[in-house]
Amino acid sequence: MISFQAEKQVVRDFYASLNSANDDALSGVMSKYCAPDLLWRGFHPFDQIRGPEAVAEQFWVPLHQSLTRLQRRMDVFMAGANMFDADDGVWVSSMGHLMGLFDQPWLGIQPTGKMAFLRYCAFHKVVEGKIAETAMYFDIPHLMMQAGLQPFPPQTAAHLVQPGPATHDGLLFDAQPVEEGEKTLVAINAMISDLGQWDSELTLEQELAQTWCDDMIWWGPAGIGATYTIERYAKQHSGPFRASFTERSKTNHICRMAEGHYGGFFGWPNFTAVPSGGFMGMPATQKAGEFRVIDIYRRAGGKLAENWIFIDLLHFWKQQGVDVLARMAGISKT
């Protein structure tokens, strides 16, 4: 059994220190657990940040000041070797919500004084006891919706405060059997192979059934929403998405890994595609756009059962000439 326990402990200690630190101590926490040349990738408007102190100043301190009494509510925690470079550090991933009291404006979004949930997922690359890279993606449009804003036209599926795995076993604090992670990676890779074709002779539902459980749940981001069962997923997201884009590039992931029944990946970007009409109720631009995405999966048997998706829709639409964040911030101030 391959153990990633030391790297997991680094991230668990890092999280515990972040959770208990006041604003003045956040920079010190980042410097203690992260490499001096940390590369941090986040969603728009944060994008790439270099160095732990800069991440604290630009992201963590403002977030702590806005979502007071912040706490991390994890639903998935796992670790693994990157299938693209197994000898270059261990990646530790966590997913869930950052919950707090929305007491001060954040990114121009006006506070509610009520509980708010920022859905997040993070991949941390641990090298020699330090976090060398982080990809932390978060659903800002969902926070807007909690503040009473509507950043996008009506979505094709449903978006809620998304729960963790139906099996309630996503926190892999203990070491997992190697063979289970290998099975999960096989299932994810098979799904990616099917997804990348877009020209299968099978119907969409037949194609999906090769790698997905019939009662699969696709937990999509705000603006698209979540959908349940292969039939509804094909109707409410996968079909409309494929019909709305042309010239989809090949998949390009920075990390893809699995442990136990869970796995996932991220890219920067994962792929590019040209909107040719209808995506999220927005007009076609015929202009290629980047999709920065994190996917987390739960496997059941030989197929995928649940999928949590984080897409930087603010970045994508800004490339198309629509600055959703600036527009919503303006509405929030009136």
> 136 with 196, same domain?
no
For the chain, what percent of residues have pLDDT higher than 90?
81
pTM assigned to the model: 0.94
Confidence bin at 1 (pLDDT 50/70/90): low
Question: What is the per-residue DSSP string for 202-249?
Answer: S-HHHHHHTTEEEEEEEEPPTTT-EEESHHHHIIIIIHHHHHHEESPP
298 located within any domain: yes
Quick one: which of 72, 79, 73, 76 has its CA closest to 8? Answer: 79
| Residues sharing a CB contact under 8 Å with residue 334, sequence separation 6 or more, in sequence order | none
164 located within any domain: no
> 116 with 38, same domain?
yes
167 located within any domain: no
pLDDT of residue 258: 98
Burial class (CB in 10 A: 0-12, 13-18, 19+), 217: buried
256 located within any domain: yes
Is the pLDDT reported for residue 259 higher than 80?
yes
> 245 with 307, same domain?
yes
188 located within any domain: yes
> 190 with 305, same domain?
yes
Boundaries of domain holding 76: 5-146
138 located within any domain: yes
Domain finish residue from 98, 129, 146: 146
Beta bridge partners of 122: 94, 136
CA 44/CA 309 separation, integer angstroms: 16
The model's pLDDT over 306-320, given as tens digits with 9 standing for 90+, comes to 999 999 999 999 999
Measured from the Cβ of residue 186, the count of other Cβ atoms closer than 10 Å reads 15
> 123 with 235, same domain?
no
> 117 with 209, same domain?
no
Sign of the torsion formed by the C-alpha atoms of 143, 149, 153 and 159:
positive
Query: DSSP code of 23?
Result: G
Burial class (CB in 10 A: 0-12, 13-18, 19+), 207: buried
Is the pLDDT reported for residue 332 higher than 70?
no
pLDDT of residue 333: 61
Is the pLDDT reported for residue 166 higher than 90?
yes
Confidence bin at 199 (pLDDT 50/70/90): low
For the segment 167-179, the average pLDDT, to the nearest whole number, is 97
Q: Number of folded domains in the chain?
A: 2
> 196 with 129, same domain?
no
For the segment 139-144, the average pLDDT, to the nearest whole number, is 96
Is the pLDDT reported for residue 196 higher than 70?
no
pLDDT of residue 334: 54
> 129 with 229, same domain?
no
Is the pLDDT reported for residue 191 higher than 70?
yes
pLDDT of residue 197: 57
> 188 with 328, same domain?
yes
> 106 with 187, same domain?
no
> 26 with 134, same domain?
yes
With contact defined as beta carbons under 8 Å apart, do 289 and 311 qualify? no
Is the pLDDT reported for residue 213 higher than 60?
yes
Output the domain CATH number for residue 299.
3.10.450.50
154 located within any domain: no
Quick one: which of 59, 74, 75, 160 has its CA closest to 107? Answer: 59
pLDDT of residue 251: 87
pLDDT of residue 156: 80
Is the pLDDT reported for residue 141 higher than 60?
yes
13 located within any domain: yes
Domain finish residue from 95, 127, 146: 146
> 136 with 186, same domain?
no
